[in-house]
A and B are shown apart, each in its own frame.
Chain A
Amino acid sequence: MILRRILIANRGEIAVRIMRTCRRLGIETVLAASAADLDSVPARLADRTVRVGPAEPGASYLDVEAVVAAAATAGADAIHPGYGFLAENPRLAAACEAAGIVFIGPSETQLAAVGDKVAAREHAVAAGLPVLPGGEARHLGAARRLAEEIGWPVLVKAVGGGGGRGMKQVHDPDELAHTIELATAEATAAFGDPRLYLERFVPSGRHVEVQLLGDGERVVHLGERDCSVQRRYQKLVEEAPAPELDETVRTGLHAAAVAFGEHLRYRGAGTAEFLVGPDGFYFLELNARIQLEHTITEEIYGVDLIAEQIAIAEGRPLRPLAATPSGHAIECRINAEDWTRDFRPSPGTVTEAEFPIGDGIRVDTHIQTGARIPPYYDSLVAKLIVRGADRADALAKLRGALARCEIRGVETNLGLYAELAEDAEFVRGGIDTAWLPRFLEEFTGAVRG
C-alpha cells in the first residue's frame, strides 16, 4: 500500500526530521502534540496538529489509546513513532494493527522479543552472537549466586530498560541487596516492569553499533557508528565509520548484527549495539527503531533512513543501497544543559538561534528564536552533523561549524564540544567510554585549580 498521510507521534527535532522526508515524498503529516508543544516548530510545519493530551508525557506522548485515536480521527494511514516515547512499545504496534493503521516499525512480536532484554540476550545467543556473562536475577539469592558466578563488579539492568536507562554498577557484594531493592523500585516506576538482570561490568570498552535495515526477508547493514563519548550512559558525540577499529572486528560486528536481524526476520530499521573490548565484542541490545544518531549513517551512505522505513512499512522489498560508506561523519548532540555546572538542565525560551550552513554541514533542530524548551521532555535542542572527505577533514569542519553556532536564552553544552574538538586524545580517535568522564574530571579540575 502507498502511505498518503502519516501521524507523527513524537516531538522535537525528530518530528521535524520525519516531516522533511514526508514532504519530499508528497506525504501529508499530522503531528500528535502535547499541550506544551502546540506552538512548537514541528506543530507549525505539520499539515495538521492534533492535541493528544497535557504536557505530562505519561498522559500524552506515552498514551497508546490517545495516539491511536488521534491517528484514526485525522484519517492517517500510518503512525511514525520516532524514537523514545512509544517507539518500541509492542502495545502501540498491536493497537495500530487492531485499528487498521500501519505502524512504521517492526512487528509487535519483534518489539517484544528485543524490548525484553533477557529475551533479546537469548535470541542473540541463538543467533550465535557473543554476550557478556549474566542472566535474569529473579530474587536476591539468585542475584547473589549469579554475581559470584560471573564475578564482581556487576551491572544491574532493568529487563524493560535500555538506551542507557535503568543501569547500576555494583562493586561490593554488600551493596547488592540495597541496589536490587532500589533498582526494582525504579524499574517498576520507569518501565512498568520490576524484573532485573545482571551482566558482568566492563569498566571500559568502546560502544559501537551497527545500522540494520530489514524487509522481513532480507537484512542488510549500513556500517557502524562509534558512540563511545558518553556521560552516565548517555551518548554525546557519535561518528561513522568507527575510527581506529580493527578491520576484522569491524566486519565481525557487521556480520553479527546481520545474523541477529536474520534470526528475527527483522522488518524495519534497527540498531544492534555492541561493547567492543580488548578481547572481542559483545552484543548489548537491539534498538528496534530509528535512532537519534541515524544521521551520520545517512551522511556517509547517501541514504534517507526515514524514507527507507516508510518504504518497508509500505511492504516494499529492500531497495539497492550503497555497499560502502564514503567519507567520515560526526554528530554532536546539543543539549539545553549547563555542562560547566554538572550538566544541570536549562529549560526556557530561546532568544537567539543561529546555525552554520555550508557543504558538509547539517543541523537537525526544532528550535528557533522564541522557541520554548519545556521542562517535561529531554534536553536535546539540536544535532550538529558534519561530513568530511576523511576524519581530519570532518574534525576541521566541526571546529568551524561549532564556532558558528549561537544559541542564547538557555545554557547549552556547545562549549564542551569546542573543547573536545581540540583534545589530542579525541582527535587521535578510538577512545573508549571511560574517556569522557576522565576528560570532564580533568577539565573541571583544571578550571577550579
Chain B
Amino acid sequence: MGIERSLSNNVLVTSLEWAVNWARKSSMWPLGFGLACCALEMIATFVSRYDLSRFGMEVARPSPRQADLMIVAGTASKKMLPAVLRIYEQMTEPRYVIAMGACACSGGIYKNYAVVQGIDRHLPVDVYIPGCPPRPEALLDGILQLHAKVMQEQSIRNPRITDILAAPK
C-alpha cells in the first residue's frame, strides 16, 4: 500500500469500522453473575484450564455499568426476571447477551409456572448455547461465534440498538 510504504511501514491502515469491531470483540467484558448450575461451567471457563483471558475476557465485572456481555447462565425464574432485566438495562451500549444452557434458551426441563420459558422472551439474545449444562468448550465456541458476529457489524454506519424500551417490537 502506498501510504504505508511512504511512512516506512510503521503505520497500518484499516477501516475505522473494522478497528472498532476488533477492539470491542477483543476486550469484551462479561458480567459476573450466574443464575443456576450453568454458572459453574461458566466459572470453569474463566479459570486457568480453559482460560477466558486468552480472548481478553477475564475481567468479569461485578457492575453492569462496566460490562459488555451478559451470559445468562442458568434457569431464570419468574421471581428473578425483574432483577435480570434491571441489570440488563444498566449495561452500557453496545451490549450483548448469550443464552447459556437449555433453561436460558427455552426453559429446558422446567416447563412449569415458575420458570421463564426462554430468556429471549424478554432480552435480545445474540448467541444460544444448548446443553444441560454446556461444557466450557461449548461456551467458548459460543463466545467465538459472538466475536465473529461482532466483526460483521456496521458499528459506525449502522450501530446496533439494543434498548429494549426503544426497540420496535
A and B assemble together: no
A residues within 8 Å of B by Cβ?
Answer: none
State the B residues within 8 Å of A (CB).
none
